[in-house]
Amino acid sequence: LKGEDVNGLVSIALAEIMLDNRPKALAVAHNIWEIGGEFSLLSEIVYLYILMNLVLLDLASQMMRAKFEHIEDNLECFFHAIL
């Protein structure tokens, strides 16, 4: 994987959570945030749940702000996160 592939990094962060390696998952989650870029829809949803799982609620709320602005367009994909 390239270091700039945020979709691949989301998979790595999720794997680190599944392996119970919270410090590494936190590092990867912050790295993703710093890199930014375009997410696939699935990666965006998973990354949002990663942020919430790692209690990075300030980052998750920043991500969700745009979803709330167009809630009718995002309700289907982000229902649980919005709830």
Give the burial string for 34-73 (b: 16+ CB within 10 Å, else e). eeeeebeeebbbbbbbbbbebebeebbeebbeebeeeeee
The token pair at 56 is: 């990075």
pTM: 0.81
Rounded-to-integer distance, Cα 39 and Cα 37, Å: 7
C-beta separation of 78 from 68 below 8 A:
no
| 18-63: pLDDT as tens digits | 999 999 999 999 999 999 888 888 898 899 999 999 999 999 989 8
Give the ranges where the chain is alpha helix by DSSP (H): 6-18, 22-35, 41-53, 57-69, 71-82
pLDDT at 73 over 90: no
